[in-house]
Amino acid sequence: MPFITVKIPTPKFKLDIEKLGNDISTHTPLEINRVNVILMTMDKETFFRGNASDYPAVHVEASIGNGKAFIQKLLQISTQLVERQLNLPENSVTGYAHPIEEGLLLVNGELR
């Protein structure tokens, strides 16, 4: 059950997170009920990118049990879909992933 957080450095970008979630499900083996998308909008006082661009960043958190190849693919697809939806240049959105090796997950009232 990966979490995909899109960090938007300016409110000028209007991202449809429901469409993004559906597109991620369509372009990956993830069923829609396993897709979690979070949108964080920040301003220039709280978001600085040293390369002077104000393009979004995508952060993926997923269990290492999904495999490195899956996490990499999910990161690539997610950044590409954000670029397409916001009509940004190819390879302009930075992506980073944190595979989760240990931790607790509470799903449907059950700890896993």
> What CATH number is given to the structural domain containing 35?
3.30.429.10
What pLDDT was estimated at residue 80? 97
Helix (H) or strand (E) holding 68: helix 68-86
Q: What is the pLDDT of residues 44-53, one digit of tens each?
A: 777 766 766 7
Residue 64 to residue 85: CA distance in whole angstroms: 28
Counted domains in the chain: 1
What are the structure tokens assigned to 2, written together? 């990966």
What are the structure tokens assigned to 109, written together? 């009232």
Low-confidence ranges of the chain (pLDDT < 70): 48-49, 51-52, 112
What pLDDT was estimated at residue 51? 66
What pLDDT was estimated at residue 52? 61
| Cβ-Cβ contacts under 8 Å for 69 (sequence gap 6 or more) | none
What pLDDT was estimated at residue 13? 87
Q: Show the domain range for 23.
A: 3-111
